[in-house]
Amino acid sequence: MPASIFDSAIYRGLFGDAEVEALFSDSAVVRAMLLVEGALAEVQGELGLIPLDSALFITRASREVQIDPSGFARETAVNGVPVPALVAAFRKAMEAPEHAQYIHWGATSQDIMDTGLALRLRRAVAIIDARLGSLIGRLGALAADHADLPMAARTYGQFATPTSFGALIASWGRPVLRHRARIAAADVAVVSLGGAAGTLSAMEGQGPAVRAGLAARLGLSDPGVSWHTERDGQGALMDALVGLLVSLGKMGEDLILLTQSGVDEVVLAGAGGSSTMPQKQNPVGPSVLVALARYSVAVGGAFQGAGLHRQQRDGAAWFTEWMVLPQIVIAAARALALAEDLARGLRPDAAAMARNMLSGGGLIAAESYSFALARQMPRPAAQAKVKALCAEVVQSGVPLADLMARDFPGLQADLGLGEAPAEARAFADEAHG
């Protein structure tokens, strides 16, 4: 098995996401950094920091040269960053030393790498947002379609009171709506340009103008300062993605329980099989959602720890980011695609839901009976009486309705769905708003 399961030829279809993984490939990293180097030279040429003809040559070459990142390993192992190897390879590929000498003028490796990452994260966030929109729309449709479909609510694994399947869907979807807003608010499409120690001292007083011009060229925002050690923007995105993964994991957990033998309240399209048990229809998709959620919590903690950057730049903290940031983004993208597939293929079994609510002696009506009885006696006494009858149901097997009719003839329980249908429809309206 490869060190990363996302890179495995065996497991790629289960956990991977080709569209987003491509943004974190070595070739994508190199291409983004070349674009940054080209845009930097173009801006510096216009401002007179480097010769204009050299700037134009560098800019054109940055779009045309092909550089193989496989040759960077030895130098990166020595330097701790790939940019020196990239700059050397770029200069060699240009075959024009009179122009190549002006590559990377006044910048530092972290400027190029962080800005290149900003370009790639911008694309990743756009992909994720589109998938969020699709998932929210599908969950909204399900919530509306099943707003009035009764099912048993369960707390601590036990029957509680009736709810609706649409309300359950809404409980999956509302956090996704909020996570979408948090992801959009995370400020990661930001240019980084600070020079060796964040002071832009090598740019002859034109550093702020260069940074603003670079941001404009690349379609990024200009923070107005160097932010080498200020990782809160990326941290906000990672926190939002981990939160999203946890919420999608809750959807997975619920689906695992709803499809288990003896419950059978939801049928999934494309359930997995067993190598030895022909009857099995394993909830593979929901299990992947749960696994990705648990994994993201672990690596998310590592990313939070990486936010502790010492002094003006910190290699150890930065290296940790490299290890875990791509994993979180890929996991979020995969979970979203999988959650939408599940939402499109799942089917509630209304008959099973009704059957389960009546099972267990009708104990799901206990709360309703206790409030109905409280109109005849103090609430504590009513609750104690119904609790005693529930124990009798368990011991005797006689349904609760029969015992209530025996002891309190004419007393009726209200097994309505309360606000569940309204909550389902409210979410559906918000999802489609």
The DSSP string of 158-203 is EEEEEEEHHHHHHHHHHHHHHHHHHHHH----B-----TTSS-GGG
Question: Cα separation of 316 and 306, whole Å?
Answer: 8
Write down the domain spans for the chain.
112-194+228-358+417-433, 359-416
Cα separation values, 87 from 93, 218, 332, Å:
10, 19, 33
- Locus of tokens 């008959």: 351
**CA max distance for the chain:** 101
- Please pick, among 174, 180, 313, 334, the residue that the annotation labels catalytic: 313
Q: Which residues pair with 154 in a beta bridge?
A: 159
- Please pick, among 27, 201, 274, 396, the residue that the annotation labels catalytic: 274
**Token pair belonging to 313:** 């730049």
What stretches of 4-64 show up as alpha helix (H) in DSSP?
Answer: 12-15, 18-21, 26-46, 52-64
CATH homologous superfamily of 112-194+228-358+417-433 equals Fumarase/aspartase (Central domain) (1.20.200.10)
Question: Cα separation of 213 and 281, whole Å?
Answer: 57
Q: Are 216 and 190 in contact (CB under 8 A)?
A: no
What stretches of 189-314 show up as alpha helix (H) in DSSP?
Answer: 207-218, 232-258, 284-306
Is 0.85 surpassed by the pTM of this model?
A: yes
Cβ count near 295 (within 10 Å)? 18
Question: Cα separation of 194 and 206, whole Å?
Answer: 12
- The answer to whether 164 is a known catalytic residue is no
- The answer to whether 274 is a known catalytic residue is yes
Cα separation values, 346 from 83, 174, 214, 331, 340, Å:
48, 19, 48, 22, 10
Q: Which residues pair with 272 in a beta bridge?
A: 282
Radius of gyration of the chain (CA): 29
Walk along the chain (433 residues) and give the pLDDT tens digit of each residue: 567 888 888 988 999 999 999 999 999 999 999 999 999 999 999 999 999 999 999 999 999 999 999 889 899 899 889 999 999 999 999 999 999 999 999 999 999 999 999 999 999 999 999 999 999 999 999 999 999 999 999 999 888 889 999 999 999 999 999 999 999 999 899 999 999 888 999 988 999 999 999 999 999 999 999 988 888 888 899 999 999 999 999 999 999 999 998 999 999 987 554 433 334 468 899 999 999 999 999 999 888 877 788 887 777 888 888 889 999 999 999 999 999 999 999 999 999 999 998 888 888 888 888 888 888 889 999 899 889 988 988 899 888 888 888 988 888 877 788 899 999 999 999 999 8
Contacts of 43 (CB under 8 A, 6+ apart): 210, 213, 214, 217
Question: Cα separation of 311 and 325, whole Å?
Answer: 22
Cα separation values, 193 from 36, 197, 231, 252, 315, Å:
10, 10, 14, 42, 17
Q: Which residues pair with 163 in a beta bridge?
A: 151
Contacts of 328 (CB under 8 A, 6+ apart): 238, 241, 242, 245, 296, 299, 300, 303
Question: Cα separation of 269 and 290, whole Å?
Answer: 18
Q: Are 286 and 271 in contact (CB under 8 A)?
A: no
Rounded (5°) CA angle 26-102-224: 75
